[in-house]
Every structure is written in C-alpha cells, then in structure tokens.
C-alpha cells in the first residue's frame, strides 16, 4: 500500500488537491483518511468547553489510534474510521468502514508533526497558500458551515490558529517531498504527483 500524506495550513486547499489526485485514480484503488476524524474524544467536556479547545495543537489528535489504523490497513485489514462533528466539536458514535487500498491518502494540518505518521508516508505533500487567502477560506467555512460567528472566528484565528500554524505546521514544510502552491488550480504539480504514484505502484 502506498501512503500519501497531504498537509498544509488551515484553508490552504488540501481537499481540492486530494480530490484532484483521487480523480486521477480508479475508485477501487484509492482511499482517504482524514486527520479530523482522529481528534481526541472530548465527551467528558461541555460543548462550551469543547469550543475553547485548541484543535490546532498536535496534542488534540489521537495519533496513537491513527497509527494503529494505518498499520492495520497496511496489513490488509479494514478499520472503522471515526466520524467527527464540527458542530459538536467532538467525535460522534458513528464510524465509517474503511478498506485497505493500493493508495491511501492521509490528510490534515498536523499529520507531519508526528514522526511515526510522517515516516509511514511514502510521499509527503505540503499544500501552500497565501496567508490572507487561507484566512478568508477559514472565515467562510467556520461562519457558514460550522456555526461560529465572525468575531469568534477572528479571535480564534489571532489567538490560536495563526500561532499554532507558525509554531507547528509551517515548519513541517521541510519534510515535504513536494510543495504545491494552491492559490490556483495547479495541474502541473498534480500531474507530477500522479506520475510518482503510478511509478511507485508499479514497484508494489
């Protein structure tokens, strides 16, 4: 199994890049693991307390479970991927049956901060976008899709998101095999990734 890690700051366009790669591969050959599914279970906290949690710090992720699931997939075993609710700021009781595939994409802002997960990735991609562009995308998403108000989101960006990005996420760019600028649709970079995938798949 080929594991592709895709990281980058919040709102950088990782999902767009993931979809571009998926569209280049047969459905039965590719699967996706989202870091967001592996936020720690915060059922012991109230919703108000959960909303104050720093979800941009590596400690917010259950990397142990993520590593266990990736190892299981590599061994040809299926897993039950957790389902996360951004409205509840917590994992739900639902899971998604996830089968091993020839190519497994692991995407999330913090995946390259964890050495064990990083070492499991055969290809490491960092998606880069302009800071202002990322802020605009994050504002639209949190206000329109996740029920935050504008002042809440701006305060969160200034006090948590940007400092965490500078401390933990941006430095992981040095581990990337490929850096994709994603201010616009980048067909050249995706074609390069596609050719690398096909080359590595022939080696499997």
**Phi, psi for 199 (deg, rounded to 5):** -65, -45
For domain 2-188, give its CATH number from 3.90.1150.10, 3.40.50.1980, 3.40.190.10, 3.40.50.300. 3.40.50.300
Tokens representing residue 65 in the block: 């479970």
Largest CA distance in the chain: 51
Q: Which residues of 109-124 are buried (b: 16+ CB within 10 A; e: fewer)?
A: bbbbbbeebbebbbbb
Which sequence spans correspond to the domains of the chain? 2-188
Tokens representing residue 165 in the block: 């990005």
Per the DSSP assignment, residues forming a β-bridge with 5 are 106, 124
Note the pLDDT of residue 149. 77
Nearest CA to 55 out of 122, 118, 146 is that of: 146
Q: State the Cα–Cα distance between residues 79 and 3, nearest whole angstrom.
A: 15
Q: Computed from CA positions of residues 139, 140, 145, 150, in that sequence, does the dihedral angle turn out positive or negative?
A: positive
Per the DSSP assignment, residues forming a β-bridge with 179 are 126
H-helix segments, the chain? 14-22, 47-51, 63-74, 115-120, 131-144, 150-156, 162-164, 187-203
Q: How many CA atoms lie within 13 A of 93 on its CB side?
A: 0
Q: State the Cα–Cα distance between residues 193 and 50, nearest whole angstrom.
A: 37
Tens of each residue's pLDDT in the chain, 204 residues: 999 999 998 877 788 888 888 887 877 888 999 999 999 999 999 999 998 899 999 999 999 999 999 999 999 999 999 999 988 999 999 999 999 999 999 999 999 999 999 999 999 999 987 777 777 777 777 777 777 778 877 888 888 888 999 999 999 999 999 988 865 556 777 788 888 888 877 775
């Amino acid at each position: 199994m080929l594991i592709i890690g895709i990281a980058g700051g919040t709102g950088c366009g990782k999902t767009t890049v993931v979809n571009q790669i998926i569209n280049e591969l047969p459905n039965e050959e590719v699967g996706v693991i989202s870091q967001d599914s592996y936020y720690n279970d915060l059922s012991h906290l109230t919703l108000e307390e959960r909303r104050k949690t720093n979800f941009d710090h590596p400690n917010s992720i259950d990397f142990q479970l993520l590593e266990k699931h990736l190892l299981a997939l590599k061994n040809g075993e299926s897993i039950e991927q957790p389902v996360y609710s951004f409205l509840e700021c917590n994992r739900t009781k639902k899971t998604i049956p996830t089968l091993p595939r020839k190519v497994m994409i692991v995407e999330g802002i913090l995946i390259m901060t964890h050495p064990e997960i990083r070492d499991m990735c055969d290809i490491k991609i960092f998606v880069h976008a302009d800071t202002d562009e990322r802020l605009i995308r994050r504002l639209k998403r949190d206000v329109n899709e996740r029920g935050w108000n504008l002042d809440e989101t701006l305060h969160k960006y200034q006090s948590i998101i940007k400092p965490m990005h500078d401390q933990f996420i941006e430095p992981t760019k040095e581990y990337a095999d490929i850096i994709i600028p994603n201010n616009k649709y980048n067909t050249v970079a995706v074609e390069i990734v596609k050719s690398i995938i096909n080359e590595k798949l022939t080696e499997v």
